Amino acid sequence: MNLKKTKLFAENIRKNILFTAHKAGSKSAHIGGALSVADIFAVLYSDILRINKKKIQDENRDRLILSKGHACLALYSALAQKKIISKKDLETFESDDSNLLGHPIMNKSIGIEFSTGSLGMGLSLGIGVAIAAKKKKKKFKVFVILGDGECNEGSVWESVLCAGHFKLDNLFIIVDRNNFQQTGENKSIMDLKNLKSKFKSFGCETFEINGHNLKEIYKTLNLKTKNKPRAIVANTIKGKGVQMFEKDNNWHHSIITNTTYKNILKNL
């Protein structure tokens, strides 16, 4: 890993997120949860995922499923950094006929593997793909990104049970643990308590990391495990990178005005 390069990648993802949300204007965008997951996306797209933009639909490519689909600005921004889509495409976000809507719409030709947005669906999709890979003796890996609020969905736990049962060591579950969901703090809405131990009891090899430490993310994604799916609880800060957004859940879904945009760019 080239830390300097990955840091720059993360910084540009954040800039793209803010640029796109600002362009969307009154259509508004999910901002806090895109910024919290930006460093994870930077490491994945800069250093981990085996994808080739010239053979974007190669059967052997790694698959990334953004189960917390509302954070699609992080995905679109990473795809723009990889030049799989263009900055001009980002400007079309949430407009009629755009490929980049407010939640990801499956479009494999631009690296969007699945449609997501209805929370609690992505992990079961990922499990199907991981099982298929094993059956076809393919070596690719499957990465599923969940929100911590999303983990309140029962379907997540039914899926984790399967992942453990089928010994899916080609599956990486990453939870963006930013401690908030749409309407407030997770601990008051439905406390997940020790998330790591929950994943462990469902048969996963578990890790808990700082989801903003690029080196730690990279190292954890490279650890070898056998016969077990990996679950990585990544402790993050909602709105990370923009001081006035950090831990302020009003920025879960909001509008960036011209004045705010000017101010935050200065302090990014």
Ligand X SMILES: Cc1ncc(C[n+]2csc(CCOP(=O)(O)OP(=O)(O)O)c2C)c(N)n1
Q: Nearest distance from residue 5's CB to ligand X, in Å?
A: 26
- CA distances 122 to 32, 127, 215, Å, are 20, 9, 26
**Interface with ligand X (CB under 6 A):** 32-33, 36, 68, 70-71, 117-120, 147-150, 176, 178, 180-182, 238, 252
- CA distances 245 to 32, 35, 225, 253, Å, are 7, 9, 37, 11
Question: Looking at beta carbons, which residue is closest to ligand X?
Answer: 147
The angle, 0 to 180 degrees and rounded to 10, between the axes of the packed helices 122-135 and 154-165 is 20
Residue 147 found at the interface with Mg ion (CB under 5 A)? yes
The nearer residue to ligand X, 99 or 182, going by C-beta atoms, is: 182
Instruction: Pick one of ligand X, Mg ion, none as the site partner of residue 20 (Cβ within 5 to 8 A by kind).
Output: none
218 close to 1: Cβ distance less than 8 angstroms: yes
Q: 266: part of which helix (H) or strand (E)?
A: helix 258-267
The angle, 0 to 180 degrees and rounded to 10, between the axes of the packed helices 3-24 and 72-81 is 120
Q: Nearest distance from residue 32's CB to ligand X, in Å?
A: 6
Q: Nearest distance from residue 134's CB to ligand X, in Å?
A: 28
Residue 211 found at the interface with Mg ion (CB under 5 A)? no
Q: Nearest distance from residue 180's CB to Mg ion, in Å?
A: 5
Site for Mg ion, rule CB under 5 A: 147-149, 178, 180
